[in-house]
Amino acid sequence: MEIAQPRDLERYLSLAKRRHGELCRQKRIFNARNRIIGGDTDAWDAQVHDQKIKEATEKARHETFAAEMRQNDKITCILEGRERRDRKSLCKAINDFQQTFQKPETRREFDLSDPLALRKDLPARQSDNDIRNTVSGMQKFMGEDLNFHERKKFQEEQNREWSLQQQRERESARAHQRCAEDLYFKTRLQFDETAKHLQNLESATRKAVCAAVKEFNRNQATESVERKTREKKQEQEDDLAEISNLLRGDLLSENPQQAASSFGPHRVVPDRWKGMTREQLEQIRLVQKQQIQEKLLREEEWRQDRDWDRQRVQRARSTLLVERQQKRQQRDLRRALDCANLSLAKEQRSQKKHMEEVCTNQPTEGYFTQFNAGSR
């Protein structure tokens, strides 16, 4: 096993640094957008980050509203489902009652529409005393009704049974209707209690929010009053300090140094200045004499510059004539060079045409991708 020496580690570290620098350089050079157009990518990234934060905030806000709407929709769907199930159970109970207690066979007129009436019917006549022998059957005539009392009694008994049966059916229907109404009222009361509970929850939430807002406003008002009190106290202290400074300052004590300006030693405050001293006047006269001498020197320099300008114009004219002569010579040389290039181009085209006919091995894309692979 080989042990890495410090010199090898330094060499590996320098090699890694050079490779990293080369990769960064290639990234900058080969990126045509940053190399040609340029731009503050950090500012763009910051703007994109801020836009993403804003979008995430809006998305969270919309998701909160959507969750609340989904909760309300869910509650509504639950209530509608309960009402639909109760209505369905009520209809089912009514259908079961009709199937159990209101069958077609129990109706009084069922014998008129019974499909098996012919199969169940008895023969037209079984004996002479058959009660089904009617007048139109020519089996029994007027005055021969010997079973009149039994038949009348049977009919009365049958009417009484039908009346009792109708009363029982009516009472049973009323009982089922009362049960259905009681179930409907209980369901409505349950729905009302649920809605009242939800309304109480909403009212409590709204009261809590109002209380929090009221407390926040009260704190803001208290802070505003305290801030105004501090500002008023600070203003009074500043006014007292300003009055004290004016009473003890240089303006009322007529200090000669009060005319000195804070913008420089050569400037004074006009409303405090008492006039220039003798030394300042002598300094001004000395400066004026120096300015006169400098003006004479500038006039002499101006005359010399004018002479030099005249000479420079003459040299420029001569240089312009020489340049024109050189341009004419260059134009002639360029014409000769164009003729030579034209003949060389014709020769090159003919040579290229000959090479295309002779050489059939054309370069592929891999041949061109080996160039411009590094940043150096």
Cα 245–Cα 251–Cα 253 angle in degrees, nearest 5? 90
Give me the sign of the Cα torsion angle 361, 366, 369, 370. negative
The structure tokens 């004590």 sit at: 253
What pLDDT band is residue 93 in, cutting at 50, 70 and 90?
very high
What is the C-alpha separation between 88 and 90, in angstroms, rounded?
Answer: 5
What is the C-alpha separation between 159 and 108, in angstroms, rounded?
Answer: 11
pLDDT in tens, 287-319: 988 999 999 998 988 988 888 888 888 888 888
Exposed / middle / buried, residue 187 (Cβ in 10 Å: 0-12, 13-18, 19+): middle
Residue 78 has pLDDT above 90, yes or no: yes
Largest pairwise CA distance in the chain: 178
Stretch among 19-23, 25-29, 138-142, 197-201 having the lowest mean pLDDT? 138-142
- How many residues does this entry show for the chain? 376
365: left (phi over 0), alpha (psi -120 to 50) or beta: alpha
Q: Quick one: which of 365, 78, 367, 30 has its CA closest to 198? A: 78
Asked if residues 141 and 135 have their Cβ atoms less than 8 Å apart, the reply is yes
Residues 272-295 have a mean pLDDT of 82
**Chain mean pLDDT for the chain:** 81
Give me the sign of the Cα torsion angle 39, 43, 49, 50. negative
- Residue 140: how many CB atoms within 10 A of its CB? 19
Residues 203-218 have a mean pLDDT of 87
What is the C-alpha separation between 361 and 139, in angstroms, rounded?
Answer: 128
Stretch among 186-200, 203-217, 345-359 having the lowest mean pLDDT? 345-359
φ/ψ of residue 268, rounded to 5: -130, 165
What is the C-alpha separation between 37 and 200, in angstroms, rounded?
Answer: 63
pLDDT of residue 274: 67
What pLDDT band is residue 83 in, cutting at 50, 70 and 90?
very high
Residue 144 has pLDDT above 60, yes or no: no
φ/ψ of residue 140, rounded to 5: -150, 130
pLDDT in tens, 30-51: 776 666 666 666 667 788 888 9
Record the pTM: 0.23
